[in-house]
A and B are shown apart, each in its own frame.
Chain A
Amino acid sequence: MVPLDLLQYVTNEKPKYYVDVYFKTFKKPNKNMKKIESEKKSTFQHFRYNEKYYYYIRTGGTSHCPYERLLVMNKKKTNKFRLYVDENIFRKPWPLDYPAINKIFRTMASENNGLLVHASGYVLNKKGLLFVGQSGAGKSTVAKLLIKKNIKNLLNDERIYIFKKKDKFYMCSTPWNGEVVVKNKKICPIHSIFFLKKNKEKFYIKKLNKLEILNRLLNQLFIDYHDKKIISCEFDTVDKMLNKLKFYDFHFKREDSIVDYLEKFISQSNLP
């Protein structure tokens, strides 16, 4: 049994989630199960049957030897997962290898008023800044420029967990990093969220309206679009984020002066 907790990653809180892992042959999903999601490359397929969700995973994301797994989640008891791992494999992998851990983490996040976002996070002058963008948008580039000031202030350059506690949004790292490997356990209130865009000539920050924010944000959130309860929680959190946080378009050039530019910007903004 593997105990898990969202904040176990960054705190010493008692875990609320458990995954029972079985190394054994398991029954594959059959035609009685309703297929509700399938990835283009068929890495995993998602089924629903008798109040249970089944994620049939056909390969290990980071493993060189592909293997099959079945992640089972009960709709009513979402704090317990069962994970069957094909026993006929050459080498025992870490059972929660991608995409199993992602699926579990996403479920836990949404049930805790949280969201996983494709972003890098940095704490500049005690203020949490989130840099959101798709692959290639510059999350790692910005992170590499900012760590020249202080590497200890980088949370993560690939995925950030955002959560709400007592009317305030916080951010912290996740087990997934990009080009910069940092194990930072800081939790920091979010000051501003920037959507990244590379610019060869200048730094430029533009305020966005709510629909523009929603449009940019949806593409970068890891949301499960299959369960009414989960998706309702996730979109309630998105709505609260839109009302509570400040979002900007951030055009940046690849220069060390990004630190000065951002310091000046946050000191001038009226946010607490």
Chain B
Amino acid sequence: MKIDNDNFIVRKIAGKDIIIPLHNKIRNVKNLFILDETSKLILDLLNKNKNESEIIKELISKHSNKYQKQIKVGVKTAIKEFKRIGIII
């Protein structure tokens, strides 16, 4: 799992950090990925070559064990979305 930095840019638009995938015509915002605080952190960690389990571990250490389940689901969903819009190869 690797971030393809040639395939997207992140831009602040309408006050939100948005991933804009390159090479595809963007018909509407469904083709964009709006980053919240957590998904931005996940993207940063992926950029540091961390894998899924390392990201989950790091997020749990930052927050609390109490949210372990939500963090796991959140990371999996974010990675799935990043794959869908083609920024993870």
Contacts and interface: CB of A to CB of B under 8 A. Distances in A.
Contacts of A235: 9, 11, 13, 20
Contacts of A242: 13-14
Given A214-B14, A239-B14, 9 more contacts: A210-B14, A213-B14, A218-B27, A226-B23, A228-B6, A228-B22, A231-B20, A231-B22, A238-B13
A36 B23 contact: yes
A174 to B, nearest CB: 20
Interface in A40-54: none
A269 B24 CA distance: 38
B25 to A, nearest CB: 6
A63 to B, nearest CB: 25
A225 B11 contact: no
B25 A225 contact: yes
Give the secondary structure class of A's interface. Answer: helix
A225 B14 contact: no
A199 interface: no
B22 A226 contact: yes
Interface string A228-240: 1001100110110
Contact of A215 (B6, B20, B24, B29): B29
Interface of A: 36-37, 210-211, 213-215, 218-219, 223, 225-228, 231-232, 235-236, 238-239, 242
A211 B28 CA distance: 10
Contacts, number: 52
A18 to B, nearest CB: 27
Interface of B: 6, 9, 11-16, 20-29, 32
A219 B25 CA distance: 9
Contact of A232 (B11, B16, B32): B11
A213 B16 CA distance: 14
Contacts of B15: 210
B23 A37 contact: yes
A226 B6 CA distance: 10
B16 to A, nearest CB: 8
A271 B25 CA distance: 33
Given A225-B22, A228-B22, A231-B20, A239 B28 contact: no
B29 A211 contact: yes
Contacts of B25: 223, 225
B13 A225 contact: no
What 8 A-B pairs are tightest by C-beta distance, nearest first? A210-B14, A215-B29, A239-B13, A235-B11, A215-B28, A242-B14, A218-B26, A36-B23
A216 B32 CA distance: 13
A239 B21 CA distance: 17
18 contacts: A36-B23, A37-B23, A210-B14, A210-B15, A218-B26, A218-B27, A218-B29, A218-B32, A219-B27, A219-B28, A225-B23, A226-B23, A228-B6, A228-B9, A235-B11, A238-B13, A239-B11, A239-B14
Contacts of A37: 23
B21 to A, nearest CB: 8
Contacts of B26: 218, 223, 225
Contacts of B23: 36-37, 225-226
A84 B62 CA distance: 58
Contact of A231 (B9, B16, B28, B29): B9
